[in-house]
Amino acid sequence: MRALVTGSGGFAGSHLVDFLLSRTDVEVYGTLYYGIDPVESQTDRVKFLEADLLEPEHARRVIAASKPDLLFHLAGHAGVGDSWSKPWSTFESNVKMTLNLFLAIKEAGLKTRVLVVGSNEEYGLVRPEDLPQSEETPFRPLNPYGVSKVAQDMLALQFFQSEKMDVVRVRPFNHIGPRQRPGFVVSAFAYQIARIEAGLQPPEISVGNLTTRRDFTDVRDMVRGYWLAITEGASGDVYNIGSGESHPIREVLDVLTAACKVDVKVVTDPDRFRPAEVPETLCDASKFRKLTGWKPEIPFRQSVLDTLEYWREKIQSSRRENG
C-alpha cells in the first residue's frame, strides 16, 4: 500500500511521516515545497517529490509518480496570524491545492482514499453555550484562515457527493510539540526562552493575550488520529480531533518560565494580539473516540516541555555548526 503525505516537510506532516515509518508497513511518499528540507532521519526511507501544488501540472505529476492508495493532505497555509496580512494567499493555498489534487486523482482514474485536514478555526466565534464544540457546531469563522478551511472542507464534501471521491474529513484542534515554528503560541514562548538561556536575547519574553483558553493536543497524538481517521473513518464523514481539555495561555507561560534556567521578565506586546480572538476552544471528540478508541497519550505539560527542549537543542546545534 502506498501513502502520500502532502506538506511532509512541515510540522504535522513530518510527524505523520515518522508515524507511518515506525507504526505501519506502507510505502511512504511525501511532497516538499521547493527549498524545504525533509527531516534528516526520513531521507533514506521516503520518496520525496518536490512540487508546488498550486500548479495543476505539479499535482498531476505527484499523483502519477506516487499512485497513492492513501493521501494525507496536509500541505497549505497553516497560520492564523499570517492570514490577516495574507488573506488571498491563505485562501488560494488551502483551496486550490485541494482542488488540484482532487482533479489529478480523478483524471488518473485512481481509487485513492483522501484525508482532508480542516481546523477548529472553522467554528470561529464560539459562544459559551456552544462548548464543547461538536461537528454540529455552526461555522462562524473569525479570520481568513478559518474561512479558507471552511471552503476546503466544503470542497471535499462536494467531491464526495458529486464525484464519489473517497474522502474523510477531520477538524483538528490546536496541536503542539517539537518542530512547530515560532509563529504559534507554545513554540513562540519556548523559542524565546531557549534564546534567552543561550544569551541570544535579553531576559524578557514577549507575550500577547494570556487569558484565552485552548484545547491543546500533542502533534504525535494528532497524527495517530489522522491514521485512524483515514483507515477507520466513514467516507464523506467529518470528525473533530482534540484532547477535550482547555488550558489558558497563561498556563503555557507558567510551565515554560518555571523550566527556564534564568529569571525572565514577561512583557506584553500589543502586536501579538489578534484583531479578533476566540475566548475559548474545547473539543467534543466523542464521535471520533467512539469510532476508533483514540485518546491522547502525551500529557499537556510534557508536550510544552518537549517543545522547549526541541528549541534548546536546535539553537545549540546551530551554534556548534557556526563555531
What is the full DSSP assignment across 155-178? HHHHHHHHH--EEEEEEE--EE-T
CATH number at residue 312: 3.90.25.10
pTM of this structure: 0.96
In this structure, is residue 95 part of a structural domain? yes
204: containing domain: 185-213+245-277+298-321
In this structure, is residue 263 part of a structural domain? yes
In this structure, is residue 268 part of a structural domain? yes
Same domain membership, residue 315 and residue 222? no
Average pLDDT over residues 147-151: 98
- Predicted confidence (pLDDT) per residue in 244-260, tens digit: 999 999 999 999 999 99
Structurally, the chain folds into a number of domains equal to 2
In this structure, is residue 21 part of a structural domain? yes
> Mean pLDDT score of the chain, rounded to an integer?
96
In this structure, is residue 23 part of a structural domain? yes
pLDDT at 323: 64
